[in-house]
Amino acid sequence: MPKYVDGYVLPIPKNVAAYQKIAKRASKIWLEHGALQYCESVGEDLSGDTPMVSFLKPSKAKPDETVIFAWVVFKSRAHRDKVNEKVMKDPRLAAMMDPKAMPFDFKKMIYGGFNVIVDG
């Protein structure tokens, strides 16, 4: 069955506790509204000591920041659109989204929607 994934990369302060609290609440909201999976992970090996580009560079993370790599799985893009519409109207999410209280800068978040081509 084809799936659709929303992916996110964002720099946050290295003390991840405040972000993790928000992420746990967000996960519950997305799953209640129909997302198949919600996953957030924090950077552990971001050294960049390879010819590849570390997530630190494109996310413009500062020395006191680390990077979150996250994704939400849906049945399809249409399913994603329906779920996200419900999520965006959920008052619990609105209560968490005060820009002054956020532990990260929304403007530095990298985002995209993806069709899954391999799911093994």
Contacts with 66 (C-beta within 8 Å, 6 or more apart), sequence order: 11, 12, 13, 14, 16, 42, 43, 46
> What pTM did the predictor assign?
0.90
Mean pLDDT of the chain: 92
Pick the residue with more confidence: 87 or 47?
A: 87
Domains of the chain (ranges; CATH) run 4-51+63-99 (3.30.70.100)
Helical ranges in 1-120 per DSSP H:
17-32, 56-59, 77-89, 91-96
Range among 56-60, 79-83, 91-95 with highest mean pLDDT value: 79-83
What number of CA atoms fall less than 13 Å from residue 11's CA on the CB side? 17
